[in-house]
């Protein structure tokens, strides 16, 4: 399934009505594409994160935004204030990270797992409450990161935090909203058996603009059902209880 075949399928569904040209149909498909990928988190990708000395929290949205560094540490001092060290000024001014390659997504969603490129191990997932209970001074502890935890929709933290190295990196596997389809040969980042959901979503959008509430509602119901099927598929493929094993008990796995 390509962008061209999706456009042709939607065009057949609208019976080539004079209201909609190829650009309108392409826009409707991409609108459904973004919504489906954001709702189901069916698209996953990897990004290399360059660690910053003294930095605990990182926001996966950073590579998808234009401009320079950003500040996500709400407890940090303003970098324009005099009297702070050069290292602290650098840390505040450049929070975020640089992707290793051109972004293949519009927006990052949720980190799923984290790999330490120096120690060659997966970081264990934890929570702030566990760290507070087991590591009373975790926030000031430095070293090679071996744990990570969610701290927002696309924001996560690491423990311990690097203190001196400016070359250490992590490989972050995360869900994302992929780039819009543009070329005729572009393929949607949706499992092949679920691509009809994009047609149904586009038809819902177009019929709504035509002010045909009955037809739009009928397509909406089909679209919601198809989207939910895809959502359930994604949940099953990442759930521990659905990971198959061979000749033994279920093997624990990290997401």
The 10s digit of each residue's pLDDT in 102-114 is: 467 888 888 999 9
Q: pLDDT digit string (tens) for 45-92?
A: 888 888 888 888 888 775 444 333 333 343 344 445 455 455 444 444
Q: Which residues pair with 227 in a beta bridge?
A: none
Mean pLDDT in the chain?
78
How far is CA 94 from each of CA 70, 107, 152, 225, rounded to the nearest angstrom?
6, 20, 19, 43
What is the side-by-side strand order in the sheet with 57-59?
Answer: 57-59, 155-159, 147-150, 124-125
Q: Which of 174, 125, 171 is nearest to 153 (CA)?
A: 174
Task: Tell me phi and psi for residue 104, to 5 degrees.
Answer: -110, 30
How far is it, in rounded angstroms, from Cα 248 to Cα 102? 42
pTM of the predicted model as reported, rounded to 2 decimal places: 0.74
Q: pLDDT for 18-38, tens place per residue?
A: 678 889 999 999 999 999 999
Q: Which of 25-39, 75-89, 161-175, 199-213 has the lowest mean pLDDT?
A: 75-89
* Number of alpha helices (DSSP H) and beta strands (DSSP E) in the chain: 6, 8
pLDDT of residue 65: 41
Distances (CA, A) of 77 to 81, 84, 157: 7, 8, 19
For the segment 107-132, the average pLDDT, to the nearest whole number, is 91
Which has more pLDDT, 186 or 164?
A: 186
Per-residue pLDDT tens digits for 222-241: 999 999 999 999 988 754 44
3-state SS class at 199: helix
Say if CB 177 and CB 37 are below 8 A apart: yes
Would the pLDDT of 195 be above 70? Answer: yes
What does the pLDDT average to over 199-211? 91
Q: What is the mean pLDDT of residues 185-209?
A: 93
Q: Does the pLDDT at position 245 exceed 50?
A: no
pLDDT of residue 1: 86
Residue-range domain boundaries for the chain: 3-42+190-240, 44-178
* DSSP E strand stretches across 190-239: none
């Amino acid at each position: 399934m390509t962008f061209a075949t999706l456009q042709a399928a939607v065009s057949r569904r609208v019976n080539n009505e004079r209201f909609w040209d190829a650009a309108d149909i392409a826009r409707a498909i991409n609108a459904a594409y973004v919504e489906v990928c954001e709702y189901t988190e069916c698209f996953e990708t990897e990004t290399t994160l360059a660690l910053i000395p003294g930095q605990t929290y990182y926001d996966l949205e950073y590579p998808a935004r234009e401009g320079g560094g950003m500040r996500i540490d709400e407890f940090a001092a303003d970098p324009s204030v005099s009297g702070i060290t050069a290292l602290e000024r650098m840390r505040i001014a450049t929070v975020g990270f640089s992707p290793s390659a051109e972004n293949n997504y519009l927006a990052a969603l949720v980190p799923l797992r984290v790999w330490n490129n120096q120690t060659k191990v997966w970081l264990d997932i934890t929570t702030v409450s566990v760290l507070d209970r087991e590591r009373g001074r975790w926030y000031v502890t430095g070293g090679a990161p071996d744990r990570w935890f969610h701290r927002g929709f696309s924001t996560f933290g690491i423990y311990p935090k690097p203190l001196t190295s400016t070359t250490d990196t992590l490989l972050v596997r995360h869900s994302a909203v992929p780039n819009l389809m543009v070329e005729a040969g572009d393929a949607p980042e949706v499992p092949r058996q679920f691509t009809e959901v994009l047609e149904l979503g586009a038809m819902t959008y177009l019929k709504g603009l035509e002010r045909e509430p009955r037809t739009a509602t009928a397509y909406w119901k089909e679209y919601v059902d198809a989207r939910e099927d895809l959502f359930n598929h994604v949940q099953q493929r990442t759930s521990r209880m659905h990971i198959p094993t061979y000749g033994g008990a279920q093997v624990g796995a990290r997401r």
